[in-house]
Structures are given as structure tokens and as C-alpha cells.
């Protein structure tokens, strides 16, 4: 099986270099004619598939179908030219996605029907040979991975705490009850800050990964425990994750807010970034003219990656050309 | 207006890191309780025009006051 199958969908683009022949979907062979599939569904020689692989494949299919839909508008002109060219020639030189192939298929009314489980060696004589790059969607994955910058998590230490005792005996602690009713404690490794409340609940911020956040919270709990409190570690939960990345090209925010106005708000006099509230996943993105993007509101890492993969083709469409 | 809440934001974290870097890694410990700041510094150089004093460990206790903060070292 293709080794890429073991990667979650958002990381598919990372395993193989861009333009590789076998990125995500394992079963297509390079010279398989497009007659076997209108949409990039893998051929179901399924006897050896596990449920996990099945789920992954379904996710890949959904991904590709979404990417197809996004691509159709952009490629209509291209396809018309190719359709006329293909009737004359027998080979296609430019990049072909399965999405394009499906458009051509319709326009030429082929009679070859997709046979599940069959990989015909030779295409029907009426169909031009189209070297399909299997499962390289017309819009490739961006190849950019957002980096996590901040994780906010909470945990319940399960006992009431005397904040004054903690502030007086612990190192690196601040407590000003007139201003804020919690002890602010910091540790150096992982570099984080914790707000510790008298109820026993604690907020831990500043970590760069989920594991670091959990480790830091445990360290704070141990500090409190060593001060004599019967601290436990209940209901650890990551509440928010923040990531950032750079698309490496300038963006026309004004254009983006015009076309995506139900998701975007852009008030340059208030804030120089466009605030894009994505519905699925529910992530807020701050998009800047420079091409830098901040993503926040995630409960899991995959939401950050998914949101970025969703926004990247949109941002490419609003690239500044001057 | 209470701004202490913002100390554990990214900005606050960066301020803290700047504080640490400013003292060039020799801040051993800090504390703030009852409006009194306590710092413990390691490997400290006090420099005056004529004199240079080096110390392994310095404890600074500072109170907020209308006039001045009072310092003691040991």
C-alpha cells in the first residue's frame, strides 16, 4: 500500500514533494486513462483494506472533491482549449487533474464505463491518451505548515488553595488580589505562565505544543503539591490553539472582503488585518497584506491545518500582482 | 484598570522574556506579594564610576511608595 496512507489528510502534501505522481490516493497507476473514474475515487480492490484505510481514503476523496469544485471555475477556459486541442491531438502536454478529466469526459461523451476493480491497460481508441497525475488535485496542498505559537489549557487541581501561601513560598509568583484574584506563576521549561485560582482551577498559557502544555500544567501542579496542598490533575483540557504561517506573497485584502463578505471583516483604520471567520472548521484567521496568516480558535491541531488548507487556494486567488 | 491579567498573554510572556534577557539570565527568582517585589539575582556586577563590585547572589526587596522604593542587599 502507498505509504502515504498512514498520514492524516492534512499532512498528505508533506510526505511527497509537490508534483509527485503518487501523493494521496494509492491505487491509481500513472497511465490509467481517465475513463475509469469521473471523480478521483480509488478502485475498490478492497479485499485487504482495513477500516482505517477506508476512512482515510474517504477523507482523501472528500478533500479532492472539494478541491475539484474550487478548481472548476478557474479551469473552464483551459478546458475548452484543451477539449478542442485534444480532438486533434492524441496527447496532452499540460498538467491534467482528474477534475479536468471529468470535464473533458462529459464533453466528449465517451462510452467507456468505469468498471470497479478494473484497470484497463489500453484506453479506448477514441479517447486521447491523457497522462493523468493520479490524485494530484488541480490545487496541490500548499506545502506550508502552520506553526503553533500558543496553547491555552485548563486543569482542575481538585482542592481549595491558599493563594497567599503559594505566592509567599513559591518561586516566580505574583499575587495582587486588589488587581486580580489569582497567582500568576511562571516556569522556564516549558516557558509558560499559569493563573492559579483559589478554587483550585488553573489556566496554563504560552506552550508551543499540546504535550508541552500538559507537561507544564503538571509541573505547576507539582509545585502546588510540594507546598502542601493535596493537588490532583483533573480534567486537563486544551481550550485554544494559535498557529501562524506565511504564504510568501502579498494579498489583496480589499478584494477578499468583497467576495467573502459573509465571512470577512476588514477595517484598516481599526486593525490592519482582515478577520476571516471560517465556518468549517470554526477557526478565526487574521490575514495580513504581507501574506502572514494567524489562525486561532482551534481545539485540536488538525483544525488549524484544515483551516489553512481551506484558505490557501482562496488567498492564491487574491495574490497581489503588482 | 487591571492589566495584570495581560501578563500571561503572549505580550506578557514576551515582556517576561525580555525581563529575563535584560538581566541576562541572572534572574534567579522573583516574587510579588502584598505589593512588595522580591528579586534574587545571581552573578551581579554593580558598577559605579570609580568602583566595581561583584556578587554571587543579590536579593532585592522593593516596596511601592509615593517617594522612593527602598532597597536592601545581602
Q: Which three cell numbers stand for residue A133?
A: 497525475
Contacts of A248 (CB under 8 A, 6+ apart): A144, A291
Rounded Cα–Cα distance for residues A84 and A197 (Å):
71
- Indicate the pLDDT class of residue A31, thresholds 50, 70 and 90: low
Q: What is the pLDDT of residue A115?
A: 55
pLDDT computed for residue A37 by the predictor? 43
Pairing of strands A283-287, A292-298: antiparallel
Whether the pLDDT of residue A131 is over 80: the answer is no
The interface predicted TM-score of the complex, written ipTM, equals 0.70
Percentage of chain A exceeding pLDDT 70: 57
pLDDT at A226: 97
Please enumerate in sequence order all residues whose Cβ is within 8 A of that of B66, keeping only pairs 6 or more positions apart, or say none: none
**Cβ–Cβ gap B4/A191 under 8 Å:** no
When mean pLDDT is compared across A49-53, A295-299, B25-29, the lowest value belongs to A49-53
Minimum-distance CB partner of A167 among B5, B9, B31: B31
Reported confidence tier of residue A40, pLDDT bands at 50, 70, 90: very low
pTM of the model: 0.62
- How far apart CA A263 and CA A273 sit, in angstroms, is 14
Supply the pLDDT for residue A140: 75
Work out whether the CA dihedral A248, A251, A257, A260 comes out positive or negative.
negative
What would the grid cell of residue A103 be? 470535464
Q: Whole-angstrom Cα distance, residue A264 to residue A65?
A: 24
pLDDT band for position A10 (cuts 50, 70, 90): low
SS (H, E, C) A133-202: CCCCCCCCCCCCCCEEEEEEEEEECCCCCCHHHHHHHCCCEEECCCCCCEEEEEECCCCEEEEEECCCEE
Q: Which residues contact A87 (CB under 8 A, 6 or more apart)?
A: A108, A128
- Per-residue pLDDT, A320: 96
Separation of alpha carbons B4 and A318, rounded Å: 40
B14 shares contact with chain A (CB less than 8 Å): no
The pLDDT assigned to B64 comes to 85
Q: Which has the higher per-residue pLDDT, A146 or A103?
A: A146
- B33 to A171: CB separation less than 8 angstroms, yes or no: no
Asked if B9's CB is within 8 angstroms of A205's CB, the reply is yes
**Closest listed residue to residue A185, CA positions, set A233, A229, A222, A160:** A222
Average pLDDT (A115-120) is 52
Among B1, B4, B7, B8, pick the best mutation site for testing chain A contact (most A Cβ within 10 A): B8
Give yes or no for residue A204 having a pLDDT over 60: yes
pLDDT band at B34 (very low <50, low <70, confident <90, very high): very high
Residue B12 contacts A where some CB pair is shorter than 8 Å = yes
pLDDT: is A80 or A3 the higher one?
A80
**Would you call the peptide bond into A305 cis, given omega within 30 degrees of 0 as the criterion?**
no
Contact B7 A206 (CB under 8 A): no
Amino acid at each position: 500500500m502507498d505509504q502515504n496512507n498512514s498520514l492524516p489528510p492534512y499532512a498528505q502534501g508533506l510526505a511527497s514533494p509537490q508534483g509527485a505522481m503518487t501523493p494521496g490516493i494509492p491505487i491509481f497507476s500513472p497511465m490509467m486513462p481517465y475513463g475509469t473514474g469521473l471523480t478521483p475515487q480509488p478502485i475498490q480492490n478492497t479485499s485487504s483494506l482495513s477500516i482505517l484505510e477506508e476512512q482515510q481514503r474517504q477523507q482523501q476523496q472528500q478533500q479532492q472533491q472539494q478541491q475539484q469544485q474550487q478548481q472548476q471555475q478557474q479551469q473552464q477556459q483551459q478546458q475548452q482549449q484543451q477539449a478542442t486541442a485534444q480532438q486533434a491531438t492524441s496527447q496532452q502536454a499540460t498538467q491534467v487533474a482528474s477534475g479536468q478529466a471529468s470535464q473533458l469526459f462529459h464533453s466528449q461523451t465517451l462510452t467507456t464505463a468505469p468498471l470497479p476493480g478494473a484497470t484497463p491497460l489500453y484506453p479506448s481508441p477514441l479517447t486521447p491518451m491523457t497522462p493523468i497525475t493520479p490524485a494530484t488535485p488541480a490545487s496541490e496542498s500548499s506545502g506550508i505548515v502552520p506553526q503553533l505559537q500558543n496553547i491555552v489549557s485548563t486543569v482542575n487541581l481538585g482542592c481549595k488553595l491558599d493563594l497567599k501561601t503559594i505566592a509567599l513560598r513559591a518561586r516566580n509568583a505574583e499575587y495582587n488580589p486588589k488587581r486580580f484574584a489569582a497567582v500568576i506563576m511562571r516556569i522556564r521549561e516549558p516557558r509558560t505562565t499559569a493563573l492559579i485560582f483559589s478554587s483550585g482551577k488553573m489556566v496554563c498559557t504560552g506552550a508551543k505544543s499540546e504535550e508541552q502544555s500538559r507537561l507544564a500544567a503538571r509541573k505547576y501542579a507539582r509545585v502546588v503539591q510540594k507546598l502542601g496542598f493535596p493537588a490532583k490533575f483533573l480534567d486537563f483540557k486544551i481550550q485554544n490553539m494559535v498557529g501562524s504561517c506565511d504564504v510568501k506573497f502579498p494579498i489583496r485584502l480589499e478584494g477578499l472582503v468583497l467576495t467573502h463578505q459573509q465571512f470577512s471583516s476588514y477595517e484598516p483604520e481599526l486593525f490592519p488585518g482582515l478577520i476571516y471567520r471560517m465556518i468549517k472548521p470554526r477557526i478565526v484567521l487574521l490575514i495580513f497584506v504581507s501574506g502572514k496568516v494567524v489562525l486561532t480558535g482551534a481545539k485540536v491541531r488538525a483544525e488549524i491545518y484544515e483551516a489553512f488548507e481551506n484558505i490557501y487556494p482562496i488567498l492564491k486567488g487574491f495574490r497581489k500582482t503588482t | 484598570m487591571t492589566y495584570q491579567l495581560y501578563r500571561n498573554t503572549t505580550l506578557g510572556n514576551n515582556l517576561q522574556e525580555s525581563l529575563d534577557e535584560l538581566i541576562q539570565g541572572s534572574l534567579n527568582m522573583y516574587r510579588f506579594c502584598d505589593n512588595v517585589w522580591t528579586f534574587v539575582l545571581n552573578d551581579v556586577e554593580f558598577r559605579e564610576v570609580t568602583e566595581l563590585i561583584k556578587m554571587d547572589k543579590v536579593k532585592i526587596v522593593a516596596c511601592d511608595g509615593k517617594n522612593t522604593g527602598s532597597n536592601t542587599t545581602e
